[in-house]
C-alpha cells in the first residue's frame, strides 16, 4: 500500500517551527526560574535540593530515549517520504512496542533507584516514604513521556516541529498548574511534586496521541505490524547513536567534574561561569539547527544527493556567520559580562571564557550536517573515530594542568584541543566522505564562521583599546554597534543574492514586511 509522497513543506513551516522553538526555549527557562523560589519558599532548602537531584537522574534515561527517537525518526521519515505506508506502519509499530519493552525493563530499575534513594542520598529530616515516592513518580513521568515520544516522532516526520513544541509547552504548563493547585489545596509535599510531573506526563501523552492521529491517520496501532528485523535495525542504530552521545558527554561535560575533583569546589564554580556560556550558545543555535534535520532526511529519502549537498553547504555558511556574532561578542566582552553578572573579582576569568566559548562555533556548524550520518546509517563508523576524542579529553585534562602548571585553564585547553579535532577535522571530513564529495568541501564552508569570529575579535579588541566599557548601557551600545556593522557587511557583501533571499523567505511574514530590501 502506498500514498502520495510526503511533502514536509520546509520553507512554509520554518517560521512556525522557529517561533515555536523559541517559545518553548523561553518558557522552559522562565518556568524553571519561577519554580525554584516557589519550591524554596514552600518546601525549604533541604527538601528542594531533592527535586533537581531526582530530575538529574532521569537525564540518563532521557539519553537512551533520545537515541531511540533519533533512530526511529530517521526510519519513519524515510518511509513516509517514499510513500510506503506498509513499511511506515511496520516502523511505527515496531518502535511503539519495542519502546514499551524497554520501558517494562526499566521499571524495576527505576523502582530500585527510588527505593535506595533515601539511603544513598542525604535527605535530612524528610520522610523516606516521601522521598521514595518523589523519585518513583518522577521516573514514572519520564517513562510515560518515553512511550508518548513514539507519537511525537510522527510529528517530526511531517516536519510539524511546532506541534511537538506545543506538546512540550503543555507539559511545562501542566507541571506548573498542577503543583501550584496541589500545594494550595493539600499543602506543600515532595509527593505532590512527583504527582504533578506524572499528571503532566499523562496529559501530554494524550495530546501527542491525538495530534499524531490527526497528522498521520493511516498509521494504525497494530501488534501484527511488529517486525523483529526492523527492531534489530532500529535498535542497532540507537545503540551507536547512544555511544556517540556518551562520547560527546566525555568531550563536553566531564571538564567540570575534573576541575571540581582536581582543584576544589571554588574552582569548579568559577569554571562553571565559562561553561554556562558555551551551553547557552549551543542551545540558542539548536533553535535553528534542529529544524534542519527533517530536510536532510527528506533529501536522502528522495535520493537527491545534489540537493542535500547544496542545502547543507549553504546552512553551514549561514549558521556559521550568524552564530559567529554572539560567540565573538561573549568573548570580546567577557571581562565586562563577568563583572556585571557575578562581580568584578571574577573578571580575571575572561581568558577562560575565550578558551571554552570560541570552539563552540565548530560544534554548531557541524550540527548542521550531523544528521547526514544518521540518514546514511553511518553513525557506527563515526563513533570509532570520535569516541577516542572523549577519552583523549580526559587524559589531557588530567595531564595539561600539571605539565604546564596552569590549573583549570589546562582542563579548558584540553577541551579546546579535543573539540577542535572532533568538530574541526574528523566530523566534517568523515561526513564529506559519506556523501562522496571532496573531503574539504564542508571544511571550506566552515571557514566563514571561523573567519567571522576572527574579524569580530580583532574589531572588538581594537574598540576596547580606545573606548572604556564598564556599565551595562555602554556594553549594550557597543554590542549593538558591532552587530549592526557586522550584519550589514555579511548580508550585503559576504552572502550571495540567493542566500539572502532564502533567509528572507524563512523569516515570519511580519519581519519580511518590515525589513528594508537594502538590509536583506
Res. 168: pLDDT tops 60: yes
Q: Bigger pLDDT: 445 or 513?
A: 445
Residues 6 or more apart whose CB falls under 8 angstroms from that of 3 comprise: 83, 85, 218
pLDDT at 449: 95
- Please report which confidence band the pLDDT of residue 60 belongs to, taking 50, 70 and 90 as the band edges: low
Stretch 110-125: mean pLDDT, rounded? 81
Residue 4 has pLDDT above 70, yes or no: no
Instruction: Provide CB contacts within 8 A for 250, sequence distance 6+.
Output: 387, 389, 390, 391, 393, 394
List, for residues 306-344, the tens digit of each pLDDT value. 999 999 999 999 999 999 999 999 999 999 988 888 788
The answer to whether the beta carbons of residues 283 and 25 sit under 8 Å apart is yes
Most confident of 153-157, 229-233, 382-386, 429-433: 429-433
User: What is the rounded average pLDDT for all residues in the chain?
Assistant: 87
CA atoms within 13 A on the CB side of 465: 6
As to burial, measured by CB atoms within 10 angstroms (0-12 exposed, 13-18 middle, 19+ buried), residue 28 is: middle
Q: Does residue 123 register a pLDDT over 80?
A: no
pLDDT score of 198: 93
Q: Of the candidates 357, 209, 191, 185, which has an alpha carbon nearest to the alpha carbon of residue 271?
A: 357
Is 507's pLDDT higher than 80? Answer: no
Confidence class of residue 428 from pLDDT cuts 50, 70 and 90? very high
For the four alpha carbons of 239, 245, 251 and 253, in that order, the dihedral sign comes to: negative
CA dihedral angle for residue 52, residue 57, residue 58, residue 64, rounded to 10 degrees:
150
**C-alpha–C-alpha distance, residues 446 and 457, integer Å:** 17
User: Is the pLDDT at 483 greater than 90, yes or no?
Assistant: yes
Are 118 and 132 in contact, with CB atoms under 8 Å apart? yes
Q: In whole angstroms, what is the distance from residue 344 CA to residue 152 CA?
A: 46
* 226 has a pLDDT exceeding 70: yes
Say yes or no to pLDDT of 2 above 80: no
C-alpha–C-alpha distance, residues 519 and 504, integer Å: 10
CA distance 438 to 432: 7
Question: Is the pLDDT reported for residue 453 higher than 90?
Answer: yes
DSSP secondary structure letters along 78-115: HHHHTTBHHHHHHHHHHHHHHHHHHHHHHHHHHHHHHH
Q: At what angle do helices 305-332 and 334-341 cross, to 10 degrees?
A: 60
Structure confidence at residue 271 (pLDDT): 85
Q: Specify the pTM.
A: 0.83
Helix, strand, or coil here: 2?
A: strand
**Is the per-residue pLDDT at 431 higher than 60?**
yes
Across the range 33-50, mean pLDDT stands at 78
Q: Among 59-68, 268-277, 443-452, which is the least confidently predicted range? A: 59-68
pLDDT at 466 over 80: yes
Q: Please name which of 434, 416, 420 lies closest in space to residue 312, comparing C-alpha atoms.
A: 434
Q: Note the pLDDT of residue 519.
A: 67
Q: What is the pLDDT of residue 8?
A: 67
CB 490 within 8 A of CB 354: no
Share of the chain above pLDDT 90, in %: 38
Q: CA-to-CA distance for 52 and 63, rounded, in angstroms? A: 17
State pLDDT tens for residues 80-98. 888 788 888 999 999 899 8
Q: How far apart are CA 476 and CA 438, in angstroms?
A: 42
Whose CA is closest to 323, among 448, 444, 441, 432?
448
d(CA 430, CA 205): 38
Per-residue pLDDT at 371: 92
Average pLDDT (364-383) is 92
User: Does position 504 have pLDDT exceeding 70, yes or no?
Assistant: yes
The predicted pLDDT at position 56 comes to 67
What pLDDT does residue 59 have?
Answer: 66
> 430 with 443: CB under 8 angstroms?
no
> Which has the higher per-residue pLDDT, 514 or 409?
409
Mean pLDDT of 133-159: 88
Cα distances (angstroms) measured from residue 493 to each of 140, 490, 497: 54, 5, 10
Contact 352, 409 (CB under 8 A): yes
- 3-state secondary structure (DSSP) of residue 223: helix
Amino acid at each position: 500500500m502506498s500514498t502520495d509522497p510526503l511533502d514536509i513543506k520546509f520553507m512554509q513551516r520554518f517560521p512556525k517551527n522557529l517561533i515555536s522553538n523559541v517559545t518553548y526555549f523561553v518558557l522552559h527557562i522562565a518556568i524553571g526560574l519561577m519554580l525554584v523560589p516557589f519550591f524554596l519558599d514552600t518546601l525549604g532548602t533541604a527538601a528542594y535540593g531533592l527535586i533537581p537531584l531526582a530530575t538529574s537522574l532521569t537525564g540518563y534515561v532521557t539519553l537512551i530515549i533520545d537515541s531511540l527517537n533519533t533512530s526511529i525518526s530517521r526510519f519513519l521519515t524515510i518511509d513516509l517520504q517514499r510513500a510506503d505506508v506498509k513499511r511506515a506502519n511496520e516502523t511505527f509499530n515496531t518502535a511503539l512496542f519495542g519502546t514499551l519493552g524497554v520501558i517494562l525493563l526499566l521499571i524495576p530499575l527505576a523502582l530500585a533507584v527510588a527505593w535506595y534513594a533515601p539511603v544513598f542520598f542525604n535527605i535530612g529530616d524528610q520522610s523516606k516514604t516521601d522521598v521514595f515516592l518523589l523519585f518513583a513518580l518522577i521516573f514514572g513521568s519520564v517513562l510515560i513521556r518515553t512511550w508518548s515520544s513514539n507519537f511525537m516522532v510522527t510529528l517530526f516526520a511531517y516536519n510539524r516541529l511546532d506541534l511537538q513544541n506545543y506538546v512540550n509547552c503543555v507539559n511545562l504548563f501542566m507541571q506548573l498548574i498542577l503543583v501550584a493547585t496541589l500545594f494550595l489545596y493539600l499543602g506543600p509535599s515532595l509527593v505532590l511534586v512527583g504527582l504533578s510531573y506524572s499528571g503532566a506526563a499523562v496529559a501530554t501523552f494524550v495530546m501527542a496521541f491525538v495530534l499524531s492521529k490527526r497528522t498521520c491517520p493511516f498509521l494504525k496501532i497494530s501488534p501484527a505490524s511488529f517486525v523483529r528485523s526492523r527492531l534489530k535495525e532500529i535498535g542497532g542504530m540507537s545503540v551507536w547513536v547512544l555511544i556517540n552521545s556518551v562520547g560527546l558527554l566525555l568531550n563536553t561535560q566531564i571538564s567540570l567534574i575534573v576541575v571540581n575533583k582536581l582543584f576544589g569546589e571554588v574552582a569548579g564554580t568559577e569554571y562553571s561561569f565559562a561553561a554556562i556560556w558555551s551551553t547557552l550558545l549551543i542551545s540558542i543555535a539548536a533553535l535553528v539547527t534542529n529544524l534542519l534535520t527533517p530536510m536532510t532526511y527528506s533529501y536522502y529519502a528522495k535520493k537527491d544527493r545534489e540537493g542535500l549537498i547544496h542545502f547543507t553547504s549553504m546552512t553551514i555558511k549561514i549558521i556559521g556567520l550568524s552564530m559567529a556574532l554572539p560567540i565573538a561578542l561573549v568573548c570580546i566582552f567577557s571581562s565586562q559580562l563577568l563583572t556585571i553578572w557575578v562581580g568584578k573579582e571574577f573578571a580575571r576569568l575572561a581568558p577562560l571564557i575565550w578558551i571554552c566559548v570560541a570552539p563552540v562555533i565548530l560544534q554548531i556548524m557541524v550540527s548542521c550536517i550531523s544528521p547526514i550520518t544518521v540518514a546514511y546509517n553511518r553513525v557506527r563508523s563515526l563513533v570509532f573515530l570520535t569516541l577516542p576524542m572523549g577519552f583523549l579529553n580526559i587524559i589531557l585534562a588530567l595531564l595539561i594542568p600539571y605539565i604546564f602548571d596552569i590549573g583549570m585553564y589546562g582542563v579548558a585547553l584540553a577541551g579546546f584541543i579535543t573539540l577542535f579535532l572532533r568538530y574541526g577535522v574528523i566530523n566534517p571530513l568523515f561526513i564529506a566522505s559519506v556523501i562522496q564529495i571532496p573531503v574539504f568541501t564542508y571544511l571550506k564552508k566552515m571557514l566563514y564562521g571561523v573567519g567571522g569570529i576572527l574579524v569580530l575579535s580583532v574589531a572588538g579588541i581594537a574598540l576596547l583599546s580606545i573606548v572604556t566599557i564598564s556599565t551595562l548601557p555602554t556594553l549594550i551600545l557597543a554590542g549593538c554597534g558591532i552587530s549592526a556593522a557586522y550584519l550589514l557587511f555579511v548580508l550585503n557583501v559576504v552572502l550571495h543574492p540567493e542566500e539572502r533571499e532564502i533567509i528572507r523567505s524563512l523569516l515570519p511574514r511580519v519581519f519580511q514586511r518590515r525589513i528594508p530590501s537594502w538590509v536583506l
